[in-house]
Structure 1
Amino acid sequence: MNATDRTPADLLSSALAADPGRPLVTFYDDATGERVELSVATFANWVAKTANLLQDELSVEPGDRVALLLPAHWQTAVWLLACASVGAVADLGGDAAAADVAVSGPEPESLAAARACSGARVALALRPLGGRFPQVPEGFVDYAVEVPGQGDRFVPYAPVDPEGAALIVAGREFSGAEVVERARAEAAELGLTGPGARVLSGLPYDTWEGLSAGLYGPLASGGSVVLCRNLGLLAADAVDRRIEAERVTVVAR
């Protein structure tokens, strides 16, 4: 990572320049058996497409608030970096009524909460391989339908201010610079000491600690994350086998 990186999007750009082929996010859903591995390049491509969707199709501008009513998931990680790329404020579990855009998972309660948003609403089916909804929820656009046709490169219409609000989680607001600085400072505490460090995280994305272990820390340190949803469904020996198979060096759960 470069000392000049000031926003989460900068961290991703540096990771892409350094080693685009290395794994960045490996995702498991232990309720469905899904496993997805995204290299830096593949993850960055999803981020670029999602950022273009935000900027060009949903008319999101720097400072706009995007309520992310989503669990810890690889697609949530994509949305966090896409918001950072545009300069929008990613509000994890935030009040959709106060947001310019609401992004929901497929759960009925999440969709109901997102309908409070008077702006654009996007629904994610969170199906394996980014699959579509069999039937799109009323009042929403299907992310899996809209994102494939977006451009593979993203250029913001306006420069992103590192000191501007970038993230809200558990009621705490962070600027882009604060996200980067805190992720860097805490990476060593997590044991992410450089390239090759690999953290297995079963923490949700509704706290800073979950975001730090499950995305920002690995990104800031040149490491990678094995992000596990529903990890509690696994027996202890199965978790141990995953730790060994994935060459995990740090565990956060």
Structure 2
Amino acid sequence: MNASDRTPADLLRSALAADPARPLLTFYDDATGERVELSAATLANWVAKTANLLQDDLSAEPGDRLALLLPAHWQTAVWLLAASSTGVVAELGGDPARADLAVSGPEPEDLEAARACGGERVALALRPLGGRFPQPPPGFLDYAVEVPSQGDRFTPYAPVEPSETFLVLPGGEELTGEAAVARAREDAAARGLGPGSRLLSALPYDNWEGVSAGLLAPLAAGGSVVLCRNLDRLDTASIDKRKESERVTHTATRTAT
């Protein structure tokens, strides 16, 4: 955490500079048994590759609108931070018909909605280990196929201004990069997060609370996140065991404890 950070991408850079090997985002999907742990260096590498994909292969420019039709997932966190890195505006559950680009998960209803986008369309299989689709959806680029060959470092063609819109929430509220960072810091303080805090979040990425708890507030505090999808499949004893094994210090769930 650095007081001069003004965008979510800045927060990631500070985390990387502070301790590249520190686990920054640990993801569980309790429907599949998947567990992925990303250090600051690994997360930054995925973000750089995705930002290069956006800027070079998809020709995205600052201010372009990206309809993000993805659940709470480590790859969704990557796309949010890549949008911040490039100046692309991420719209949570945005209308693909009004967007310049669309990024969809594998659910048929999301893919069908994304087809309304007249620009580039990217699909994520969201399979364990970042696996690709057995058969890519027609009309979409397969993220898992396209991203590995991208560069490991990213430099934007134009500086990303903190005063420009970074995120559009369902309902239409727009947040600039610096407003998102300021709000994330406020949330971190309200939750009692600080350096070394480890927040378990089972909230979806469908509103500010979910994105804040599941990514930005821990990042702003110098902490880390354990992002859990389908946590409701576990009983209380299993959740408690996870909290202990992951050294969780705070939680954010629909029935927070």
Secondary structure, counterpart of 1:72 in structure 2: coil
Distance 2:204 2:196 in 1: 23
- Which residue in the other structure is 1:210 paired with? 210
Q: CA deviation at 1:22?
A: 0.3
Q: Is the 8 A contact 1:190 1:213 kept in 2?
A: no
Amino acid at match of 2:176: S
CA distance in 2, matches of 1:99, 1:170: 14
Q: Distance in 1 between matches of 2:241 and 2:61?
A: 45
- Which secondary structure state, in structure 2, belongs to the residue aligned with residue 27 of structure 1? strand
Q: Give the conservation status (yes or no) of the 8 Å contact 1:200–1:243.
A: yes
Report the Cα offset of residue 42 of structure 1: 0.1
SS at match of 2:63: coil
CA distance in 2, matches of 1:208, 1:191: 18
Structure 1 gaps, min length 5: none
Q: In angstroms, what is the RMSD of aligned CA positions? A: 0.6
- How many Å apart are 1:191 and its aligned residue? 2.1
Deviation at 1:170, TM superposition (A): 2.0
1:215-245 Cα deviation digits (max 9, x unpaired)? 0001101100000000111111111111111
- Determine helix, strand or coil for the equivalent of 1:76: helix
Bigger mean CA deviation after superposition, 171-180 or 38-47: 171-180
Q: Which residue matches 2:186?
A: 185
Q: How does 1:42-61 map onto structure 2 within 5 Å? A: 42-61=42-61
Look up the equivalent residue of 1:65 and give its one-letter code. R
Letter paired with 1:175: T
Q: Give the TM-score of the pair, scaled to structure 2.
A: 0.97
- What displacement does 1:189 show? 1.0
Quote how far apart the aligned CAs of 1:183 are.
Answer: 0.3
> Taking every aligned residue pair, what percent have the same amino acid on both sides?
74
Q: Which structure 2 residues correspond to residues 204-243 of structure 1 after superposition, within 5 A?
A: 204-243=204-243
Provide the residue aligned with 2:66 in structure 1: 66
Unaligned residue ranges in structure 2 (runs of 5+) = none
Mapped partners of 1:251, 1:104: distance in 2: 28
Q: How many residues align?
A: 252
2:89 maps to a residue whose letter is V
Counterpart Cα distance in 1 of 2:123 and 2:184: 29
The worse-fitting range, judged by mean Cα deviation, of 166-175 and 74-83 is 166-175
Give the structure 2 partner of residue 248 of structure 1. Answer: 248
